[in-house]
A and B are shown apart, each in its own frame.
Chain A
Amino acid sequence: NAGVMQNPRHLVRRRGQEARLRCSPMKGHSHVYWYRQLPEEGLKFMVYLQKENIIDESGMPKERFSAEFPKEGPSILRIQQVVRGDSAAYFCASGRGNTEAFFGQGTRLTVV
């Protein structure tokens, strides 16, 4: 849905660098979800956030990955010291909690 804005659309990072992915939810949505999708695979849940609060991070790798959704500004998914295996499409979705979630266009991360 065009209302959920992700940037950048494409991101290339060298191994060891940091990647920052941004997601601005649809207006009026207070819930943000991050998913990772590898080629030919389904969407894997990573983290679920509300403003200033991480609700569920059970899908986040224990190291190098972090997410935030501050009171002001977009949600950020941060990957430190990227490795080739981090190359994937990262999708953000927003919603109001009990209704459908709308997805952004995704960020394609390529680690070289």
Chain B
Amino acid sequence: GQNIDQPTEMTATEGAIVQINCTYQTSGFNGLFWYQQHAGEAPTFLSYNVLDGLEEKGRFSSFLSRSKGYSYLLLKELQMKDSASYLCAVRDGGATNKLIFGTGTLLAVQP
């Protein structure tokens, strides 16, 4: 089966660092994606990992361990505008190649 788990909600303070974890069990794997979604808006692409290790892009970093079925998104120097849902998605390999999403983590950044 396909299963992607993330915490439902997290709270953090402006200026701090927060780590959002994602574990997955999927029949295939061809990459892991993180998206940000503000309420009522479209998901926007943040990062992509296909090999083990850390990918850094400005204030956002994403880590992947394929052997553990585990990823995290690290947000540094949090800003109020970072309050949003963060969606972990796995690309199912093989012929389908579709993206399977977790339910998302709602992050609230407080002053």
Contacts and interface: CB of A to CB of B under 8 A. Distances in A.
Interface residues of B, number: 23
Interface residues of A, number: 25
B44 A93 contact: no
Interface in B78-111: 87, 89, 91, 95-104
B105 to A, nearest CB: 10
A13 B31 CA distance: 38
B45 A102 contact: yes
A42 B104 CA distance: 6
Interface in A50-73: 55-56, 58
Interface stretch (A14-22, A80-88, A103-111): A103-111
A1 B103 contact: no
A54 B61 CA distance: 35
Interface of B: 30-31, 33, 35, 41-45, 48, 87, 89, 91, 95-104
Interface of A: 1, 31, 33, 35, 41-45, 48, 55-56, 58, 91, 93, 97-106
